[in-house]
Amino acid sequence: MSSHSPSRPVAIIGGGIVGSALLYTLAHRGVDAVLLESEPALALAASGTNSGILHTGFDSTPGELETELILRAARIRPAILDALGVPVIPTGAELVPRTAEDHETVRALAANAAANGVQVEVRESDGALLVQGESVSDPVAFALALAASAVAAGARIELDARVTAISAIDDGLALATADGRRFEVAAAINAAGLYADEVARLVGDESFEIYPRKGEFFVFELPEGQTLDRIILPVPTKRTKGVLVFPTLDGKVVAGPTAVDLDDKEDWSVRPEAHDEILAKAVQQFPALEGLEPIASYAGLRPAGRGSNYVIGRSAKSDRLINVAAIRSTGLTASLGIADHVADILPELGIEVGELHPPTVAGPPASEGPWWLRTARHRHPTTP
Ligand SMILES: Cc1cc2nc3c(=O)[nH]c(=O)nc-3n(C[C@H](O)[C@H](O)[C@H](O)COP(=O)(O)OP(=O)(O)OC[C@H]3O[C@@H](n4cnc5c(N)ncnc54)[C@H](O)[C@@H]3O)c2cc1C
């Protein structure tokens, strides 16, 4: 195999949490990298509209790639977030069983957690499953801090840069953006979330399809004197993972999400019926929400693979394009594990990758108001 021109960087297409973690990791493993993001800022899609929870993987299927990368991320993430000053509250989570079937599910989940090496406890008084390692974070601060640290370590970010064409050149790829910019790169990593299938189509790769699975949330302010200090997870049923209730870093309480399969990748609206759907379930979990009116709502679109999940690897149609697609439900948690895993693929293309260096600190993470309103305001500028 011939080696790439040393002057060519590796491009990352898409600046959600996965693209930001890739940029961070490549920059800190000695790879020249440039991130191309179609929006005017990073993390304005799924990565800015999720639950912000850093999962332990207690309920993930042992042996799957998703689980492996959740666990890999857990080994490296705490030190990086700490060094970069990304806020995290180690709340822990609890699942309270209400039926005999729930108790059985809790026992199965405890066994699953053990198989993944995740510490859990079953509370004697009510049989609740306690998962101490679950925590809440600010997902926007997480993405922006990784990106800022990458830039401080020498990486580049191009905003308003929607990739619309990819062509093969000698030992590399040429990427073109909608506004006519051109980038010659040694390889490209497709982390375009909902549009990762369309980016793959640019090289004739039709091996996977992404559709939006909408999740809606409502944000509440609790009356004086009341607080929520943990994540309340429903006991999952065969049909659904259900609605959770969790505290935010800025002292609010959020209930959601729904899971509504759509076709329209641009429908970021909250459906009128979502309020009653969520509240009926959330009040059961956390009765303090009874009678409260939400102060805000937002919706996220999970980049879901049709019949696939965590599609990671070199494209069969262009071996210098690496797909990192269908990161549907756990991308915030797993992002740094995904990035480290993908970095390990680059040597197959003759690109040298070193060990992960300690984080380059770029100053405190940018604060842009409540993260849970940022994308809603971008998508619907009339949002208060
Ligand atoms: C409702 C909901 C709840 C969730 N809760 C959690 C949770 O609690 N914990 C957790 O770990 N995960 C959670 N997730 C999952 C997590 O948010 C996703 O897995 C993660 O955000 C996916 O990141 P991404 O970078 O792959 O995609 P995205 O965030 O969608 O980013 C893709 C980026 O690519 C850009 N792009 C698209 N096309 C192009 C192009 N042609 N050129 C350049 N740029 C392009 C987009 O503008 C976008 O910025 C949740 C998701 C949702 C929606």
Angle at 22 between CA 21 and CA 25, to 5 degrees: 85
Total of domains in the chain? 2
**Which residues pair with residue 184 across a beta bridge?**
174
**pLDDT at residue 366, rounded to an integer:** 72
In this prediction the pTM is 0.97
Atom of ligand 1 minimally distant from the CA of 324: 26
Distance from the alpha carbon of residue 291 to the mean position of ligand 1, in angstroms: 33
For residue 67, being part of any structural domain is answered with: no
For residue 125, what is the domain's CATH number? 3.30.9.10
Question: Which residue has tokens 């305001």?
Answer: 377
Distance from the alpha carbon of residue 41 to the mean position of ligand 1, in angstroms: 13
* Residue 220 shares a structural domain with residue 102: yes
- Measured CA to CA in angstroms, residue 69 lies from 12, 52, 258, 345 at distances of 19, 17, 25, 14
> Is the minimum distance from the CB of 194 to ligand 1 under 6 angstroms?
yes
Domain boundary among 278, 305, 332: 305
* Residue 178 shares a structural domain with residue 292: no
> Is the minimum distance from the CB of 338 to ligand 1 under 6 angstroms?
no
* Residue 170 shares a structural domain with residue 313: yes
* Residue 322 shares a structural domain with residue 215: no
> 315: closest CA among 280, 270, 348?
348
The answer to whether 131 and 91 have CB atoms below 8 angstroms apart is no
> Is the minimum distance from the CB of 163 to ligand 1 under 6 angstroms?
yes
**pLDDT at residue 367, rounded to an integer:** 64
For residue 4, being part of any structural domain is answered with: no
* Residue 154 shares a structural domain with residue 189: yes
| Residue 277 CB partners (closer than 8 Å, separation 6+) | 258
Q: Whose CA is nearest to atom 21 of ligand 1?
A: 47
**pLDDT at residue 5, rounded to an integer:** 47
Residues of the chain above pLDDT 90, percent: 92
Domain boundary among 259, 275, 305: 305
> Is the minimum distance from the CB of 331 to ligand 1 under 6 angstroms?
yes
Summarize pLDDT for 31-41 with one digit per residue, the tens: 999 999 999 99
Atom of ligand 1 minimally distant from the CA of 215: 1
Distance from the alpha carbon of residue 16 to the mean position of ligand 1, in angstroms: 5
Atom of ligand 1 minimally distant from the CA of 53: 8
For residue 278, being part of any structural domain is answered with: yes
* Residue 229 shares a structural domain with residue 296: yes
Domain boundary among 253, 278, 305: 305
**pLDDT at residue 240, rounded to an integer:** 66
> Is the minimum distance from the CB of 13 to ligand 1 under 6 angstroms?
yes
* Residue 361 shares a structural domain with residue 215: no
Q: In whole angstroms, give the CA distance from residue 74 to residue 334.
A: 8
* Domain residue limits at 289: 93-133+211-305
Q: How many residues does the chain have?
A: 384
Q: In whole angstroms, give the CA distance from residue 177 to residue 96.
A: 50
Question: Which residue has tokens 């073109």?
Answer: 176
* Residue 221 shares a structural domain with residue 300: yes
Atom of ligand 1 minimally distant from the CA of 325: 26
Distance from the alpha carbon of residue 210 to the mean position of ligand 1, in angstroms: 12
Alpha-carbon dihedral angle through residues 239, 243, 249, 251, given to the nearest 10 degrees: -170
Q: Which regions in the chain score pLDDT beneath 50?
A: 1-5
For residue 357, what is the domain's CATH number? 3.50.50.60
For residue 97, being part of any structural domain is answered with: yes
**pLDDT at residue 87, rounded to an integer:** 93
**pLDDT at residue 383, rounded to an integer:** 76
For residue 2, being part of any structural domain is answered with: no
> Is the minimum distance from the CB of 285 to ligand 1 under 6 angstroms?
no
> Is the minimum distance from the CB of 53 to ligand 1 under 6 angstroms?
yes
> Is the minimum distance from the CB of 45 to ligand 1 under 6 angstroms?
yes
* Residue 317 shares a structural domain with residue 374: yes
* Residue 315 shares a structural domain with residue 286: no
**pLDDT at residue 1, rounded to an integer:** 42
For residue 159, being part of any structural domain is answered with: yes
* Residue 206 shares a structural domain with residue 216: no
Q: In whole angstroms, give the CA distance from residue 318 to residue 199.
A: 12
> Is the minimum distance from the CB of 35 to ligand 1 under 6 angstroms?
no
* Residue 173 shares a structural domain with residue 278: no
For residue 78, being part of any structural domain is answered with: no
